[in-house]
Structure 1
Amino acid sequence: MFLLPVVAVALVDADGRVCVQQRPEGKPMAGLWEFPGGKIEPGETPEAALIRELREELGIDTEAACLAPATFASAPLGERHLLLMLYVCRKWRGLPRPLEGGALRWLRPLELHALAMPPADRPLIGLLEALL
């Protein structure tokens, strides 16, 4: 089994809402809602990967000091096993916008339960409810 480490972030706005993005057409699990993030490239730290992914996917910038490790999820994903590390971020520069397609929504943690989400993202909702 091949371990696939990925990072994701709960961007939290001043009203306590969390940003989720819809997976674009043509990608695995298209149409599902997820926390922004992605794969860690060889030689990258989780924080550097998340900063890069936020720039590529949402057009925003943040610093490693603004990324607070929150929790992780572990789930089988075909021939691989996904290890999803979730960070919380309340400070960034720029206005998040979906640069790779799909859509963005800002929702309270309780509202996330109603969304169709990948299996690894679902268990993270309860922690966000407790934190926020």
Structure 2
Amino acid sequence: MQTERRSGNGPTDRREPRVVVGAAIISAGRVLACARTAPPEVAGMFEFPGGKVEPGESETAALVRECAEELAVRVEVGDRVGRDVRMAHGRSVLKVYAARLLHGDQPRALEHSAMRWLAADELHSVTWLPADVPIVAALRPLLAAG
């Protein structure tokens, strides 16, 4: 995926969209959902924890870093869940990976207002951010099988 950007009167250059990674942390057949605190228009909506991939950083390294920063946990990153989801008018793309907690770590809501562990039949009991909705649909069979 690429977006075009025109700078001044110069030629159009192509830029890759910013990659945002999310972790579908699965434990005992449930996935961790985290409630946003900001910005105000999405506060209280649920998401998969994660964040932006920094320059020179791999997607999996970014996810490990983000889980440590947001939840104070160590994770092992697994396979992709769902498809790429375009965000922010095509300027960003969300990629979600399955993950599992390591060393008995238990998540703490350091940057979220709430956390919930959801089974397959509970996935629609929270209001998800729009970008996470397609991932929730792809996640249901993984949880049901697991």
* Alignment TM class, shorter chain as reference: 0.7 to 0.9
Quote the residue 1:102 is aligned against: 113
Asked if residue 112 in structure 1 is aligned to residue 123 in structure 2, the reply is: yes
What's the TM-score once normalised by structure 1's chain length?
0.85
**When the two structures are aligned, how many residues end up with a matched partner?**
128
Q: Deviations over 1:93-118 (max 9, x none)?
A: 31101112411100113322232111
Contact 2:75/2:100, CA 8 A, preserved across alignment: no
**Quick one: structure 1 residues 62 and 76, their matched pair in 2 at CA, closer, same or farther if it must change by over 3 Å?**
closer
Tell me, what secondary structure is at the counterpart of 2:44?
Answer: coil
RMSD over equivalenced CA pairs, Å: 1.9
Q: TM-score, normalised on structure 2? A: 0.77
1 or 2, which has the higher strand percentage?
2
Gapped regions of structure 2 (runs ≥ 5): 4-14
**In structure 1, distance between residues paired with 2:40 and 2:69:** 16
Q: Tell me what 1:36 maps to.
A: 49
Q: Which structure: larger Rg?
A: 2
1:82 to 86, 92, 98: 92
Matched, 1:56 2:66: no
1:68-117 Cα deviation digits (max 9, x unpaired): 22233323425x53311111113423110111241110011332223211
Amino-acid identity (%): 39
Contact 1:67 1:89 in 2 (8 A): yes
